[in-house]
């Protein structure tokens, strides 16, 4: 059980809402700048003024390098919202301990405590055969 106060969760949630809007503004303007052909491929029959969720679903199917990072960010936010709903937000998914509020303030979509995150990145770097 996460020990975050409701007020802290609300605050972090507001930060994520703001980031969500910003990411989608960016995604929409990037998609708008793709040029007609790529835009058609990216959006299919869907209009660009569709809802955020529908847009995310549509764009998830494509592999557009330009917006990949934005998509990853909004997916992370969607996942964090899911954890808030489930009551597991603020708990490390690896060791189950509380993620420090200071870390969440800097990184509201964090899934892991700082120790597990370091461990995770270390393992990932190794698996990819590099040591950065």
According to the binding rule CB under 5 A, does residue 92 interact with Zn ion?
A: yes
Q: Interface with Zn ion by CB under 5 A: which range of 8-16, 57-65, 82-90, 106-114?
A: 106-114
Nearer CB in complex with Zn ion: 23/90: 90
According to the binding rule CB under 5 A, does residue 95 interact with Zn ion?
A: yes
**Least distance to Zn ion, CB of residue 2, Å:** 13
Nearer CB in complex with Zn ion: 71/80: 80
3-state secondary structure the chain: CCCCCHHHHHHHHHHHHHHHHHHHHHHHHHHHCCCHHHHHHHHCCCCCCCCHHHHHHHHHCCCCHHHHHHHHHHHHHHHHHHHHHHCCCCECCCCCCECCHHHHHHCCCCCCCHHHHHHHHHHHHHHCCCCC
Binding mask 52-91 for Zn ion (x = CB under 5 A): ----------------------------------------
Instruction: Write out the residues near Zn ion by the rule CB under 5 A.
Output: 92, 94-95, 113, 116
């Amino acid at each position: 059980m996460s020990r975050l106060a409701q007020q802290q969760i609300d605050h972090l949630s507001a930060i994520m809402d703001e980031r969500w809007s910003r990411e989608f503004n960016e995604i929409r303007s990037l998609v708008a700048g793709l040029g007609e052909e790529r835009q058609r491929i990216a959006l299919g029959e869907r209009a660009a003024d569709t809802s955020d969720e529908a847009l995310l679903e549509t764009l998830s199917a494509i592999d557009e390098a330009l917006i990949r990072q934005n998509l990853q960010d909004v997916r992370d936010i969607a996942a964090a919202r899911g954890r808030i709903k489930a009551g597991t937000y603020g708990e490390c998914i690896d060791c189950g301990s509380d993620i420090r509020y200071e870390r969440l303030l800097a990184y509201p979509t964090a899934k892991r405590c700082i120790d597990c995150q370091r461990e995770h990145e270390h393992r990932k770097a190794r698996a990819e055969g590099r040591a950065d």
